[in-house]
């Protein structure tokens, strides 16, 4: 089982998650879009080890402090295979379009995942689900009864598709894929409030009709 804590970071209020495997104390951080001193302090004060920095997709507000955090704790960066290109291109990751955002120094993922591949955080298996639509590289991470959804699925909403590599048809297919998962899940989105899959199946304006 994994314990999940949320820290909101950066100017666009990105949800950054600290995952801790309860059996081993091993930790991972998902989508560190900006520096959080509180998060760094919590990791340093824990008895476990930060093993991974995990990315749902390659936009600047989700990757902005990934390299620095990974280097600080000698952690490996995990992302989808298509995300790796975003980490090296400030036009794809959109930082080039925001003069108030520092350019992101190019970096690469250490573990690049394809759809359906899994890895372990301590004793907990985590599955990567490729869910393009918001971007061509968007993905979700599923474990226990939880989905880390990035900017694919929000409470009563979904990720915008009008940015570079966004695609309406892919978003529809990704929402259908999440809707058709067996059972209910707690959903932890990249922005805004937590929700659950049963609620979204009923009330989400896109998911309810696919």
Query: What pLDDT was estimated at residue 102?
Result: 78
What pLDDT tens digit does each residue of the chain (210 aa) get?
999 999 999 999 999 999 999 999 999 999 999 999 999 999 999 989 999 999 999 999 999 999 999 999 999 999 999 999 999 999 999 888 887 877 889 999 999 999 999 999 999 999 999 999 999 999 999 999 999 999 999 999 999 999 999 999 999 999 999 999 999 999 999 999 999 999 999 999 999 999
Work out whether strand 153-154 and strand 146-150 pair parallel, antiparallel, or are unpaired. Answer: unpaired
DSSP state of 35: -
Burial of 163 (0-12, 13-18, 19+ CB in 10 A): middle
| Whole-model pTM over 0.85 | yes
DSSP-derived letter for residue 22 is: T
Q: Which domains does the chain have, with CATH numbers?
A: 2-209 (3.60.15.10)
């Amino acid at each position: 089982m994994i314990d999940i804590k949320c820290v909101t970071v950066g100017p666009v209020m990105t949800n950054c998650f600290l995952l801790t495997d309860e059996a081993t104390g091993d930790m991972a951080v998902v989508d560190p879009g900006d520096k959080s001193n509180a998060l760094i302090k919590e990791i340093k004060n824990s008895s476990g080890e930060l093993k991974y920095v995990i990315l749902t997709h390659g936009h600047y507000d989700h990757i902005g402090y990934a390299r620095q955090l990974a280097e600080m704790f000698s952690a490996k960066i995990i992302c989808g295979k298509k995300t790796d290109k975003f980490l090296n291109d400030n036009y794809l990751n959109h930082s080039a379009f925001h003069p108030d955002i520092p350019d992101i120094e190019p970096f690469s993922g250490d573990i690049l995942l394809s759809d359906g591949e899994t890895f372990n955080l301590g004793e907990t298996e985590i599955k990567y689900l490729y869910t393009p639509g918001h971007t061509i590289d968007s993905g979700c991470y599923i474990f226990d009864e939880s989905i880390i959804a990035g900017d694919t699925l929000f409470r009563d909403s979904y990720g915008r598709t009008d940015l570079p590599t966004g695609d309406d048809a892919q978003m529809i297919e990704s929402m259908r894929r999440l809707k058709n998962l067996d059972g209910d899940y707690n959903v932890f989105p990249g922005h805004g409030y937590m929700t659950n899959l049963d609620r979204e199946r009923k009330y989400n304006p896109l998911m309810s009709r696919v």
